[in-house]
Structure 1
């Protein structure tokens, strides 16, 4: 006798097949305690579909998900699934407002999640990662402040300190390095250069801080309005075209400084707002005026930076070599010992007011300096907010996917807004996440956001005590650091172009080229505006057409329906009947083309047929079935258009059926008069119900016609 498998259940009957007797048996279960006998292990799972056990010929049939089988007693049905289940409540179980507040605060302030369980071992790794990050962070801050923003170098250090500390408390990504960023810094510098009047360094710093304040307010407002979806607004092609144009712009701009042509550029009328092509022409025209000592130092710095970086990628044990810090120290010592500054090599000079500087200025709200254009500042801040957020969240999400944790776009937007809002109080310029710097940070394996805080503290110490030692830091070295960081932005361009070519994404390649050449020929602001405009146009165009599908009956079936374009089945049109499935909620954006698309479906049976073709449906339409299972919501504008569509069918004598109507949509359909127009008897549960009603209507009409014939 085979093993017996008893299950607690209500009395029920089930059928099984015994190959030995070739007959069916009916068995009635009784309540008992589950037990096993040890002749043979019986699998306590659902029935295996048509599988054979070794050593016997009993076949297991899959009856339903709660049916269990025995080789001797057949299948029995459980009254409940053996998998335990619990009910999830939408509301929190917290009894008091304080417990709710604590739960919410941990969600919105991530430091409250990881700090209570923070360990010494974790801090050791974060300390090493933070020191490695600061060795890149501090030189980049000096470079971006002086080379891209055209501000005193001290403001770059302020920006690093505040951004690193604030993001460590509010940010969600341990790997993301938030601070001065190349694209954003260039946009800040461009915004300062395009002011109506020439600004002195103090006024320029005030404009940069005011821009940071506006960026912070914009970002916080978008976060509170839950506009985190903006990270999907700009396509990868548009963003790649814009970043590539920015990278080329910065490379050309820094080449002027690498070759020591900055003074010649001023004499030739090259200004910060000059177009990139104009700068390229200037470089070729003045190649004979290259400053030999500056160009030699720049070449040596670039070779050192790229060589050490290449070695680090190839040999993991050299991963912690701070190549940027090493080049900064060696070039500064060389300039101090050999007095390259007396040979015409430009140096950083004095940073701060004394040998011991305050790590932060006294906090105060930035004010608008005389001659500044607040309208231009607001427009520039809006562009910086969009571009900075899209770049930063893309980097944060890439790290989240790689290291298996979650990043919320809205919470990151709140963190970026807080970084810039707080930074504006301390004379900082706008800052966001930097992908190239974050990749370096990721390579040193930070455990938590404490790594960024360590980098911020290191910057504070350098700002307070070590600035006099940077007096002889060559400006060519800072330009070399910027050059290296910008080249990293171009590393993904070949891969993206190759992928677009492979999948024949001609539209994306065209958009990339348009954004690139527009930014190169005109200005950074024009390129930014065009990229955002194209994104909006593409988004509106793609959402303005409702996703509707024409359905048909599967060949040689009665009530099986499938999309007409289903490649796996032969689907046929129903004569006199149009079945339209609405696959998404309807709103004012996507219903503008609803009438035209329904007309094309009625005449051609397919939206891909060009309107110039002759109609492919010869019969007159008599019935329309709207399958609204995917229409989970509808707004007033859409329901008004739907009413007009149904009224048009009604005037033509076409019967309209609505099936699978969502309960949330039903009240609005009733108030709009649609249900009164078609009648409640034509609002049904499934497409099959509507087809049966149509068949009955056709049969009734046929009987009436025959009976009226003499």
Structure 2
């Protein structure tokens, strides 16, 4: 037994397997000064993006601002060791923030107990999925469903910031009540918040265009021109930080003059978070949640949040891997984000995943390895240690503008036009997901969308197209495999055609499109063959795939015959086929 364990360990703990599970061992020995320079620049640039985004996304997650920064730095360190994509940055995102608010909003204002436990469980689920190699489950979430989910989530997030932009108080969280009460309370709008949010949005969209300017590529640029272009790009990339810092400065100056006109960010707990095991119960004032009740509160979130996190990270990783000509290991990515969430839960993080906007910034900044995340994480820790006393000066309207500008590009209504032109049936899951995300909630919208997609996927197997090719002999062609959803339907159709016009006919079933059969199909064929035998007619299967034929032969059918072509089958039924012909009569009795 001891010898077997040693052999198993020696096979598992090979150098290649260790490098596969710890990708840092692959790129670290080849690390260079040039790579360090690129990683430092990219890491600092991403930090300027993630700090204001983290503060803003925390409000989407219904958490105090510091939790956005708690969620922003640990993933950077973990992914550096375990990640396979040089461009990906892990941290808080708009979608995961909304998921946290949906599934883990605490009954105690400002309490993060449910969110932190959700992070831990999300990480465990993702980690186990990586070990079991079941990441393929995300393939069952179709593109239309994901597009609709992201669109409805973006609209939910954006409109959720409107009350904060307008300075409105006591607005419900549910979407339709929020729309109603926002409209009803419009007369209570804080004009200063409205103007600040509007100016912030204009600046954000203008600087985004500056970042995305496609300069004409020439070889005769002067050093000054090159530096100017780079400065403009950095300014565009740092737009969130510029808006937040400027708005905070204006607010601080006004407050120093006893002019308090803006709605401010709530108190931010200063300093770094403590490293401790998440609490599995909640006791605060009159509110008590046992461990069992806490997990009941999380509900579907324990399944939905890990899958959404996986989808975001893998989609982003594959997109930038194609763009920059390298490969990622999808299963290792799942393991990395799982580990990041597990470790992050010990410092108060809510669930994290890959961020498309920050990954794009990371890539464009010239990141060379995952080590860029180390510098991003270091800057965030520095901000938590030094800058938290300044965070209450940040106007909520400025943070609302940051979120609205970030999610506006996530609205995918062009997908509706695309589906209408290409395949209208895919509009069904898109529409179901979109409508019910608002009517029932974002979590039920995606579940119903996936359900409709699976129904559309399985329907052709449950109701395969059956073509009738002959009048005197029923020749029936199946459009796809013969599996359990469609067995009853197919056998009934074959029997119906064999008894058409009140005359019992023999039948040929064309298996040219059948690549697989299951045990239900075998039982159905057995019953069908017995029905034909009782009527003293023949049942012939033609164009049978060799592998399928092997399965059918093992089933030991006594009344089914097999031929290579439909023509041979018809000749066999009419008794015109010579004994030595291409027809394969595999009757075993």
- With normalisation by structure 1, the TM-score equals 0.68
What CA deviation, in whole Å up to 9, does each residue of 1:667-701 have, x standing for no partner?
Answer: x5455333x554xxx567x5499669839952469
Corresponding residue SS for 1:116: helix
Q: Does 1:533 align with 2:451?
A: yes
Q: 1:630 matched to which residue of 2?
A: 515
User: What CA distance in whole angstroms lies between the structure 2 residues aligned with 1:651 and 1:102?
Assistant: 66
Where is the helix percentage greater, Structure 1 or Structure 2?
A: 2
Report the alpha carbon displacement of residue 207 of structure 1 after superposing the two structures with TM.
0.6
Report the alpha carbon displacement of residue 429 of structure 1 after superposing the two structures with TM.
0.7
Q: Among residues 219, 224, 248, which one is paired with 1:332 in the alignment?
A: 248
- 1:188-203 maps to which residues of 2 (within 5 A)? 188-193=100-105, 198-201=107-110
Report the alpha carbon displacement of residue 257 of structure 1 after superposing the two structures with TM.
0.5
The worse-fitting range, judged by mean Cα deviation, of 421-430 and 398-407 is 398-407
Q: Does 1:183 align with 2:95?
A: yes
Instruction: Return closer, same or farther for 1:692/1:479 CA change in 2, 3 Å cut-off.
Output: closer
- 1:487-502 maps to which residues of 2 (within 5 A)? 487-490=408-411, 493-502=412-421
Q: Among residues 395, 400, 422, which one is paired with 1:479 in the alignment?
A: 400
Q: 2:172 matched to which residue of 1?
A: 271
User: What CA distance in whole angstroms lies between the structure 2 residues aligned with 1:600 and 1:401?
Assistant: 52
Q: 1:705 matched to which residue of 2?
A: none
Q: 1:230 matched to which residue of 2?
A: 137
Q: Among residues 698, 701, 704, which one is paired with 2:576 in the alignment?
A: 698
Contact 1:134–1:456 (8 Å) recurs in 2:
yes
Q: 1:141 matched to which residue of 2?
A: 54
Q: 2:74 matched to which residue of 1?
A: 162
Q: 2:527 matched to which residue of 1?
A: 644
Q: 2:24 matched to which residue of 1?
A: 111
User: What CA distance in whole angstroms lies between the structure 1 residues aligned with 2:505 and 2:136?
Assistant: 45
Unaligned runs of at least 5 residues, structure 1: 1-93, 551-563, 565-571, 604-613, 702-710
- 1:490-529 maps to which residues of 2 (within 5 A)? 490=411, 493-503=412-422, 505-529=423-447
Instruction: Return closer, same or farther for 1:392/1:642 CA change in 2, 3 Å cut-off.
Output: farther
Q: Does 1:257 align with 2:158?
A: no
User: What CA distance in whole angstroms lies between the structure 1 residues aligned with 2:377 and 2:493?
Assistant: 58
Report the alpha carbon displacement of residue 657 of structure 1 after superposing the two structures with TM.
4.6
Report the alpha carbon displacement of residue 629 of structure 1 after superposing the two structures with TM.
7.4
Contact 2:103–2:299 (8 Å) recurs in 1:
no
What do you get for the CA RMSD once the two structures are aligned?
Answer: 3.6
Unaligned runs of at least 5 residues, structure 2: 1-6, 216-228, 283-287, 580-589
Report the alpha carbon displacement of residue 482 of structure 1 after superposing the two structures with TM.
1.0
User: What CA distance in whole angstroms lies between the structure 2 residues aligned with 1:141 and 1:468?
Assistant: 16
User: What CA distance in whole angstroms lies between the structure 1 residues aligned with 2:549 and 2:338?
Assistant: 37
Report the alpha carbon displacement of residue 450 of structure 1 after superposing the two structures with TM.
2.3
User: What CA distance in whole angstroms lies between the structure 1 residues aligned with 2:526 and 2:340?
Assistant: 49
Report the alpha carbon displacement of residue 220 of structure 1 after superposing the two structures with TM.
2.9
Report the alpha carbon displacement of residue 625 of structure 1 after superposing the two structures with TM.
5.6
Q: Which has the higher contact order (CA 8 A, sep 6+)?
A: 2
Question: How many residue pairs get matched?
Answer: 546
Q: Does 1:348 align with 2:265?
A: yes
Instruction: Return closer, same or farther for 1:542/1:106 CA change in 2, 3 Å cut-off.
Output: farther
- With normalisation by structure 2, the TM-score equals 0.81
- 1:565-604 maps to which residues of 2 (within 5 A)? 576=473, 578=475, 580=477, 584=481, 587-589=483-485, 591-596=487-492, 598=494
- 1:377-456 maps to which residues of 2 (within 5 A)? 377-456=298-377
User: What CA distance in whole angstroms lies between the structure 1 residues aligned with 2:297 and 2:342?
Assistant: 19
Contact 2:192–2:262 (8 Å) recurs in 1:
yes
Report the alpha carbon displacement of residue 109 of structure 1 after superposing the two structures with TM.
3.5
Instruction: Return closer, same or farther for 1:688/1:592 CA change in 2, 3 Å cut-off.
Output: closer
What CA deviation, in whole Å up to 9, does each residue of 1:616-659 have, x standing for no partner?
Answer: x999335556458733xx44333323333343344442143566
The worse-fitting range, judged by mean Cα deviation, of 443-452 and 290-299 is 443-452
Q: Among residues 168, 179, 183, which one is paired with 1:280 in the alignment?
A: 179
User: What CA distance in whole angstroms lies between the structure 2 residues aligned with 1:107 and 1:574?
Assistant: 62
Corresponding residue SS for 2:299: helix
Corresponding residue SS for 2:540: strand
User: What CA distance in whole angstroms lies between the structure 1 residues aligned with 2:66 and 2:344?
Assistant: 13
Q: Among residues 180, 187, 194, which one is paired with 1:295 in the alignment?
A: 194
Contact 2:508–2:566 (8 Å) recurs in 1:
no
Report the alpha carbon displacement of residue 573 of structure 1 after superposing the two structures with TM.
5.8
Q: 1:561 matched to which residue of 2?
A: none
Contact 1:144–1:185 (8 Å) recurs in 2:
yes
Instruction: Return closer, same or farther for 1:513/1:628 CA change in 2, 3 Å cut-off.
Output: closer
Contact 1:215–1:385 (8 Å) recurs in 2:
yes
Instruction: Return closer, same or farther for 1:156/1:330 CA change in 2, 3 Å cut-off.
Output: same
Instruction: Return closer, same or farther for 1:155/1:623 CA change in 2, 3 Å cut-off.
Output: closer
User: What CA distance in whole angstroms lies between the structure 2 residues aligned with 1:692 and 1:523?
Assistant: 58
Instruction: Return closer, same or farther for 1:643/1:206 CA change in 2, 3 Å cut-off.
Output: same
Q: Does 1:310 align with 2:209?
A: yes
Corresponding residue SS for 2:340: helix
Corresponding residue SS for 1:509: helix
What CA deviation, in whole Å up to 9, does each residue of 1:222-253 have, x standing for no partner?
Answer: 33443323333222222222222222222221
Report the alpha carbon displacement of residue 583 of structure 1 after superposing the two structures with TM.
5.2
Report the alpha carbon displacement of residue 379 of structure 1 after superposing the two structures with TM.
1.6
Q: Among residues 381, 388, 391, which one is paired with 1:467 in the alignment?
A: 388
User: What CA distance in whole angstroms lies between the structure 2 residues aligned with 1:95 and 1:423?
Assistant: 32
The worse-fitting range, judged by mean Cα deviation, of 118-127 and 620-629 is 620-629
Corresponding residue SS for 1:656: strand
Contact 1:211–1:378 (8 Å) recurs in 2:
no
What CA deviation, in whole Å up to 9, does each residue of 1:298-347 have, x standing for no partner?
Answer: 22221111111112212552222211112222222222223278414233
What CA deviation, in whole Å up to 9, does each residue of 1:540-562 have, x standing for no partner?
Answer: 3345456x886xxxxxxxxxxxx
Q: 1:457 matched to which residue of 2?
A: 378
Q: Among residues 656, 659, 668, which one is paired with 2:540 in the alignment?
A: 656
Q: Does 1:319 align with 2:233?
A: yes
Report the alpha carbon displacement of residue 260 of structure 1 after superposing the two structures with TM.
0.9
Report the alpha carbon displacement of residue 582 of structure 1 after superposing the two structures with TM.
7.6
User: What CA distance in whole angstroms lies between the structure 2 residues aligned with 1:248 and 1:347?
Assistant: 24
Q: Among residues 142, 147, 151, which one is paired with 2:63 in the alignment?
A: 151
Instruction: Return closer, same or farther for 1:330/1:239 CA change in 2, 3 Å cut-off.
Output: same
Report the alpha carbon displacement of residue 431 of structure 1 after superposing the two structures with TM.
1.3
What CA deviation, in whole Å up to 9, does each residue of 1:37-95 have, x standing for no partner?
Answer: xxxxxxxxxxxxxxxxxxxxxxxxxxxxxxxxxxxxxxxxxxxxxxxxxxxxxxxxx99
Report the alpha carbon displacement of residue 105 of structure 1 after superposing the two structures with TM.
2.9
